[in-house]
Structure 1
Amino acid sequence: MNSDDKSKKEMPQYPNPYWRNSVSLPSFPKLNENIRVDIAIVGGGITGITTAYLLAKEGMKVAVIEAGSILNGTTGHTTAKITAQHDLIYDELISHLGKEKAKLYYEASNEALHFIKNKVSEYSIDCDFSHEDAYLYATSPKYRMKIEKEYEAYQTLGIDGGLLDSIPFEIPIEAALVMKGQAQFHPLKYLASLVGQITQSDGSIYENTTAIDIDEGSEPTVITRDGHRISCNFVISCSHFPFDDGKGFYFARMYAERSYVLGVKTEKEYPGGMYLSVDNPVRSLRYTTLNGEKLVLIGGESHKTGQGMDTMKHYEALESFGNEVLGIKEYMYRWSAQDLITLDKVPYIGTISSGHSNILVATGYRKWGMTNSTAASLLLRDIILKQDNPYKDLFTPSRFQADPDVKHFITQNADVAKHLIEGKLDSPMKNPENLTNDEGAVVTVNGKRAGAYKDENGELHIVDTTCTHMGCELNWNHGDRTWDCPCHGSRFSFDGNIVEGPANKPLKKVEEA
């Protein structure tokens, strides 16, 4: 690509999810008084909205509170595949949890797909819903064997799929595995309809309202940062990372990964279908529609939050892949997302811990939030209504599997200790004044480690880089202009405000002496 081509096809400068830009969502007020409801739901993503919809339809008085704007977290940054093909998972689940639980995991995801499909039909939602087959593909002999083992798991569980030796791209593969009858959609157009159903059912939604604590008891009370109280019968934490983590120690039972997406128009016609490579580096492909044309979403480049190379390099790697496979005609969007992964790769859904039957949680979707969140909402509804649900034991947050939980617990927490120590020994050489516009870095201020970002107008924003969660030292994320924690995945804006938990306090501002 010559310099003229680069000027015509320049990558978008800032993260800018297509889903958020292509739909008009209503805004909601900040909570400014004490209220009493049946159900308080913390988190306005797909889980919170779907759960609120289900419970409001049961005649319950529901309030959803969201720290920012609804549908602007992981839900607004997804690739929005509605599929039960969650990477190479079923052979592993059979090995670790047994055939029965592996089958339940598939059925929960499949039922979630059909729930979404039925709601799209029931409310005539124009959300670009389409049935697409989902494909896993391997480019190495090692992963061909894993694909073949996964196919055996499909046969054992009765999943409609098959082995293939090619996919409709110029990618040399060893093997592929198709799961038939999956789907994709525009998640925010779909959820905007459910938001309308919630408000029509007299449910309440509050934005810019941050939950910081729960007063426990027979009638729990959510306390907001502004000191307002929501009394209720049940609290449901759907805030990506549980906001009240002291009851479940989820920070030690999950880890956070970031991944990246480019939205591009391509030289070659996209053939349809949803694709995911199983080798490293992982590559994801799907399309959506933008002004009558196909917008191809190229995803991948996963890594632990706060760790790894300059984040812009991940976008550049996706760009290189897209040019090689489809040819990039025009860059439209780029964004990144954060996902939480549990010890055994199965979400935590249910009562937050033993002894807290009226505080529920849903988290750890491992990048498959469209089906896992919907399955979570259906299960949370049934728990509150005291109805039987076949998936309750599978997803219960109090479970512990000796294999692989012990191994993964030791590995993840050893990694946390490593980064905690490395961060404390770091001796930055840069001074804030040496930064160029739109540059951030770890610097020395008043003889101590700090984080500085010089914005496009040359103004410096300096913060203490010690994470307010458990004291790990943060790293600069160039791609998103954030400070990210390599230990437990907390993220902060360049001026110190919380972007992602488990941290619930902003960073301290630093003044130069």
Structure 2
Amino acid sequence: MEEAPERDESLPGRAESYWMATSPETGFPPLDGDGRVDVTVIGGGIAGITTAFLLKKARLTVALIDAYRIVTGATGHTTAKVTVLHRLIYADLIDRFGGRLARQYAAANRAGVETVASLVREYDIPCSFERKPAYTYAESEEEREKVMAEVDAARHLGLPAAFTEDVPLPGESHGAVVLEGQAQFHPRNYLLLLAGHLPGEGSYVFEMTRAVGIEERADGVAVKTDRGTLHSGHAVLATHYPIYDRPGAYYARMQPSRSYALGVRIDEPFPNGIFINASDPVHSWRSQPAADGDLVIVTGAAHGTGQVTDTRAHYRDLEAYARSVYPVRSVDYHWSAQDYITADRVPYIGRLAGGHDRIYVATGFCKWGMAAGTAAGMILTDLIRGRENPWAEVFDPSRFREQPEFPDRVQKKIEAAGGAIEVDAAGFDREVAAIPPGEGKVVEVGGQRVAVFRDDRGGVRPLDPTCMHMGCTVAWNNAEKSWDCPCHGSRYAADGRVIESPTVRNLRRKEVVRR
């Protein structure tokens, strides 16, 4: 992530995540020339920072790099629940993988929760860490049966889950699976302190440093950036969708999904717990201690990235839902987040698929990245050190033995992007005039598609809508003022600059020749 896009200030509340608004900015330097470390970690979210931190504790030298500032991507916009209870997943995992591998998933996430708790204690991190019971609640009798089955599955895997009729949220419910001893925290305050321990003794944090390519060799890995090359024995891709995906192991195995959050004030105490409903549409609840009383965070309204035209409506729908449940006094914050959903709901953690020995990946957290991202750091640290890890098998990125072919046509389409297009002046002007100031739209002129952003002064910025990752066509996101790719989640600012990987190249300009 390079730079936050402009946000729509007409929406309710401050257009910023609560975590970003209430934590200090970082100022780590960019890479300046070439360097060498034991491990290069690409991506400054919870998986990347935890991996780098644990590797340094194991006496390896590490370079953590981020294209923008650390903890400003998905981790900076999370709900920040630290829990093993991931809606209704355990019955499904047992069906898919069997009890042994499902038990690995549960144990890894449980270890992730306890590792966060241990690090908070050891380093006395002021991050509002608080133990809470986690609930997945049913909203119908049909869902009640699924919730009860989840209790049985979780208990079979060694988790102390229980069924309860008492769901302390307003409104009708039909029972819940509850797991005591889960947690919530302030993710940026937690991770910024861990990251502060990285520089020194041959280790580094480099911000504003974009990885643009990786070359794997027999004796190591060269990570090429826009500011130099880092040479290391191993590299870790913790960038959500991997920026390096050859021969295309992941492009058909994950789907990007955006969801929305509001930070609201309500006129009554919020119950003790972290909550999520059992079926779609998803709604999640938790509270956060704040200087002027608890802030209640409600999330939901998820959809595939780039697949919705009016993203502002999702914020408004979420606000209407929140007001239907609680007497909302004010909406103080609104923000959105992006994560990746894997084909089988299990993250990819381990060696990059496709026969790579020195490149590792941690991605596809399916919106449960706080515990799983921490577990990823533990798994990758073991693998890089040549040690066995008791949970690695279930997360193995190579578990899909048949890999999809990487489409050769992609490179040709990307190479053809940009250039000039001759248009009928009157027809083009009509298309542009229909776009309100401050908005964008993909229009078709002269037989070609053009991504047009019209700024507040009426100026026009024509771009080729071809995503520079794998050639899909971007769509306008009117809430975040960005161009979003529906295929793999790359995002661009209104002027075409990269703001979220896996792309590493800006959209190309389109020269419009009027006739």
Q: State TM-score, norm by structure 2.
A: 0.89
Q: Could you tell me which residue of structure 2 aligns to residue 456 of structure 1? A: 456
- Per the TM alignment, residue 313 of structure 1 is displaced from its structure 2 partner at its CA by 1.3
Name the CA shift for 1:277/1:401 in 2 (closer, same or farther; >3 Å).
farther
Q: 1:433 to 1:511 in 2, by over 3 A?
A: farther
Q: Does 1:222 align with 2:213?
A: no
Identity of aligned residues (%): 39
Matches within 5 A, 1:3-18: 11-12=11-12, 15-18=15-18
8 Å CA contact retained: 1:242, 1:361: yes
Q: Distance in 2 between matches of 1:371 and 1:138?
A: 23
Give SS of 2:373's match: helix
User: SS of the counterpart of 1:250?
Assistant: coil
Could you tell me which residue of structure 1 aligns to residue 85 of structure 2? 85
Q: Could you say which structure has the higher helix fraction?
A: 1
Shift of 1:145: 1.9
- Pairing 1:395–2:395 present: yes
State the partner residue of 1:96: 96
Q: Aligned to 1:362, what secondary structure does the other structure show?
A: strand
Following superposition, the deviation at residue 201 of structure 1 comes to: 4.8
Q: Report the Cα distance in structure 2 between the residues aligned to 1:155 and 1:110, rounded to whole angstroms.
A: 13
Report if the CA contact (8 A) 2:62-2:204 is conserved. Answer: yes
Shift of 1:469: 2.3
Structure 1 residue 165: Cα displacement: 2.4
Equivalent in the alignment of 1:314: 314
| Offset of residue 82 of structure 1 | 0.1
Q: Match of 2:191? A: 191
Offset, 1:251:
1.1
Q: Report the Cα offset of residue 10 of structure 1.
A: 7.4
CA distance in 2, matches of 1:458, 1:329: 37
Change (3 A) 1:90 1:168: same
Opposite residue 226 of structure 2, the aligned amino acid is R
Amino acid at match of 1:506: N
Asked if 1 retains the 8 angstrom alpha-carbon contact of 2:26 and 2:70, the reply is no
Query: Whose RCO is larger (CA < 8 A, sep 6+)?
Result: 2
SS at match of 2:115: helix
User: For the structure 1 residues 11 and 293, does the alpha-carbon distance in structure 2 shift closer, same or farther, using more than 3 Å as the test?
Assistant: farther
1:420 maps to none
Corresponding position of 1:483: 483
Q: What residue number does 1:63 align with? A: 63
Deviation at 1:354, TM superposition (A): 4.6
In structure 2, relative to structure 1, the CA distance for the partners of 1:38 and 1:194 (3 Å cut) is: same
For residue 79 of structure 1, report the CA deviation from its aligned partner: 0.4
3-state SS of 1:290 partner? coil
CA contact (8 A) 2:348 2:397 kept: yes
Separation in structure 2 between the aligned mates of residue 430 and residue 440 of structure 1, nearest angstrom:
14
Q: What is the correspondence of 1:35-434 to structure 2 with a 5 Å cutoff?
A: 35-217=35-217, 218-226=219-227, 228-247=228-247, 249-400=249-400, 431-434=431-434
Q: Which runs of 5+ in 1 are unaligned?
A: 1-8, 414-426
Secondary structure in 1 matching 2:269: coil
Q: Which amino acid aligns with 1:162?
A: A
- Aligned residue type for 1:168: P
Offset, 1:154: 1.9
Q: Secondary structure at the match of 1:435?
A: coil
Q: CA deviation at 1:143?
A: 1.8
CA distance 1:10–1:237, change in 2 (3 Å): closer
Provide the rounded CA distance (Å) in 2 between the counterparts of 1:234 and 1:164: 47
Pick closer, same or farther for the CA change 1:428–1:41 going to 2, 3 Å: farther
Q: 1:429 to 1:107 in 2, by over 3 A?
A: farther
Alignment match, 1:423: none
Are the equivalent residues in 1 in contact too, given 2:53–2:195 (CA < 8 A)? Answer: yes
Deviation track 1:3-22 (CA, whole Å, cap 9, x = no partner) reads xxxxxx97447741111111
Once the two structures are TM-superposed, the CA of residue 474 in structure 1 deviates from its matched residue by 1.6
Distance 1:50 1:433, change over 3 A: same
* Root mean square deviation of aligned Cα: 2.4
Counterpart of 1:468 in structure 2 is: 468
Q: Which amino acid aligns with 1:318?
A: L
Residues 344 and 401, structure 1, Cα contact 8 Å, conserved in 2: no
Relative to structure 1, the CA distance from residue 357 to residue 17 in structure 2 (aligned partners, 3 Å threshold; closer, same or farther) is same
CA-to-aligned-CA distance 1:249-285 (integer Å, 9 cap, x gap): 2111111111110111112221121110122211000
Q: Deviations over 1:307-345 (max 9, x none)?
A: 135111111111011111112211111111111111111
Which residue is equivalent to 2:495?
495
1:30 aligns with 2:23: no
Q: Could you give the per-residue CA deviations for residues 417-471 of structure 1, whole angstroms, max 9, x where no partner exists?
A: xxxxxxxxxx999622332222222234556321222233443333211222232
Once residues 428 and 147 of structure 1 are traced to their aligned partners in structure 2, the CA distance between those partners, rounded to angstroms, is 55
In the superposition, relative to structure 1, how do residues 429 and 163 fare at CA in structure 2: closer, same or farther (>3 Å)? farther
Question: Which is worse superposed, 183-192 or 211-220?
Answer: 211-220
Specify the SS of the correspondent of 2:199.
Answer: helix
Q: Is the Cα–Cα contact under 8 Å of residues 19 and 188 in structure 1 kept in the other structure?
A: yes
d(CA) in 1 for partners of 2:290, 2:13: 20
Shift in Å, 1:181: 0.8
Corresponding position of 2:443: 443
- Whole-angstrom CA distance in 2 between matches of 1:187 and 1:428: 47
Amino acid at match of 1:230: L
How far residue 200 of structure 1 moved from its aligned partner, in angstroms, is: 4.8
| Greater displacement, 451-460 / 34-43 | 451-460
Q: Distance in 1 between matches of 2:100 and 2:389?
A: 15
Q: Which runs of 5+ in 2 are unaligned?
A: 1-8, 408-426
Residue 248 of structure 1 and its aligned partner are, at CA, apart by 5.0
Tell whether the 8 Å contact from 1:251 to 1:488 is kept in structure 2 after alignment: yes
Task: Tell whether the 8 Å contact from 1:25 to 1:192 is kept in structure 2 after alignment.
Answer: no
Structure 1 position 130, deviation (Å): 0.3
1:82–1:319 Cα change, 3 Å: same
The question of whether the paired residues in 2 share the 8 Å contact of 1:260 and 1:302 is answered with: yes
Instruction: Give the 3-state SS of the residue equivalent to 2:103 in structure 1.
Output: helix
Deviation at residue 510 of structure 1 after TM alignment: 2.5
Q: What does the per-residue CA deviation read over 1:207-233, in whole Å, with 9 as the maximum and x for residues that have no partner?
A: 11111111221121111134x211111
Contact 1:140–1:279 (CA<8 Å) still a contact in 2? no
Find the aligned partners of 1:430 and 1:261 in 2 and give their Cα distance: 36
| 294 and 430 in structure 1: CA distance in 2 versus 1, 3 angstrom threshold | farther
- Deviation of 1:202 after TM superposition, in Å, equals 4.4
Aligned mates of 1:145, 1:103 — CA distance in 2: 22
